[in-house]
Structure 1
Amino acid sequence: MNTIIVVGGSKGIGYSIVTSLLSSYKVVNISRTQPKINHENLTHYSCDVTSGELPDIDIADGLVYCPGSINLKPINRLKIEDFKSDFEINVIGAVKAIQKYLPILKKGNNPSILLFSSVASKLGMPFHASVAASKSAVEGLTKSLGAELAPTIRVNAIAPTVTDTELASKLLRNERMIESMNERHPLKKFLKPDEVSDMATFLLSKKASSLSGQVFELDCGIVSFKL
């Protein structure tokens, strides 16, 4: 049974990924809090990836890095510290995890790295300057590492639109905002966490063995269409 390391799997999209993998993989979760699930295939390490020392792990066939931030403010209210914080969470943390586990991934079975971007990297939206800047860096990292690590390790990213998680709760805090969010998307919906974890599971599997350096927009049409 292959082993997947998930950084940030205690909540939201990360938690959905962990739960979707457990039936077929051994999962090592690294996050500040423990996921609210017990399973024989799950091992948890408590760690803040931005400030703590990542645990030593002997075997891994995949790495998923999914901590994120939604820091939405007008540019005149964003501080340099906001940009630094978002970059630290989204980019530096990912680099730290990749550098730590790259030696064991190179020995893995069909090894794969999966990162997370955002539709904000492609779709210009007000108040998204900080998160869009850091997620755009994730996309650059995905393509550069995909080239560098080929053919041994595949590297891909998912760029979701708004997903119904605690992180996005401020954007979906009442029925009017939910209806407005649905209407903004050409498919008249936004994402559920399991839709993202389904894509993640696919990209980690052998079924995606020909895919690397790609950013997959799970956008419900908001980037792709103008209707």
Structure 2
Amino acid sequence: MKNIVIIGGSKGIGSAILLQQLETNFVYNISRTAPDVTHPNLKHFSVDVLNDSLPEIENIDSLIYCPGSINLKPIGNLNVDDFRNDFEINVIGAVKAIQKYLPILKKGDEPSIVLFSTVAAKLGMPFHASIATAKSGVEGLVKSLGAELASVVRINAIAPTITETSLSANILRNDRMKENMIERHPMKGYLKANEVAEMADFLISEKAKSISGQIFEMDYGIVTFKI
């Protein structure tokens, strides 16, 4: 049984990861709200990652940082605070968590870190200037720390396309919009949270012991294919 720290495990993709890990690992969830589940293998800390001190945890094998944002506006409607807030949530929060828990992670069992990017960091998409900028920072962090920690801790990121969660509810708010999103993707689909959770599970497992510093696009073909 491994000790998994999930930051932002109460909603969306983080919740799917939390539910998947509970049966076989001990999970520490750090988020502002408690998850809608209780389990003997779960300990929750009600913490605002950006503004509060992170809790002390004695044993950690994997750290998964899930908080993100979807702030889609034309560049003329974005202000400096939009960019600053997205960067804080996506990059600074991850840096804060890594700096806090890295000394403990280094003592873990095949330790690993998983962060989250987006397909918009690779694929130019209108109205994504702020979030694409922030997530590009996440990808740079993964590459740099992958090299710095190569012999000690693995770190990778998942870059999903649109995923059906509460965060994307406005984008997928009716059947017509869902059908349009399906048609935009060459493989005729978009992600469910449990699909992303499966990738996270793989990346923290022994099966991925040779993989670090990588960005895994779960894109239903939207970045990879032009059809």
TM-score above 0.5, yes or no: yes
- Alpha-carbon distance in structure 2 between the residues aligned to 1:50 and 1:127: 25
- Alpha-carbon distance in structure 2 between the residues aligned to 1:42 and 1:143: 31
Q: What residue is the counterpart of 1:43 in the other structure?
A: 43
Q: What residue is the counterpart of 1:189 in the other structure?
A: 189
Q: What residue is the counterpart of 2:11 in the other structure?
A: 11
Aligned positions, number: 227
- Alpha-carbon distance in structure 1 between the residues aligned to 2:220 and 2:147: 28
- Share of identical aligned residues, percent? 63
Give the C-alpha shift of residue 223 in structure 1: 0.2
- Alpha-carbon distance in structure 2 between the residues aligned to 1:32 and 1:39: 18
Give the C-alpha shift of residue 20 in structure 1: 0.5
Q: What residue is the counterpart of 2:114 in the other structure?
A: 114
Q: Which digits, 9 at most, give the CA deviation of each residue in 1:16-70, with x for residues without a partner?
A: 0000111111000000000001111000000010111100111100000010000
1:155 matched to 2:146: no
- Alpha-carbon distance in structure 1 between the residues aligned to 2:136 and 2:69: 13
Q: How does 1:1-227 map to 2 (within 5 A)?
A: 1-227=1-227
Query: Runs of 4 or more off by more than 6 Å in structure 1?
Result: none
Q: Gaps spanning 5+ residues in structure 1: where? A: none
TM-score, structure 2 as length reference: 0.99
Give the C-alpha shift of residue 72 in structure 1: 0.2
Secondary structure of 1:171 counterpart: coil
Q: Which digits, 9 at most, give the CA deviation of each residue in 1:58-115, with x for residues without a partner?
A: 1100000010000000000001000000000000000000000001000000000000
The one-letter code matched in structure 2 to 1:196 is: V
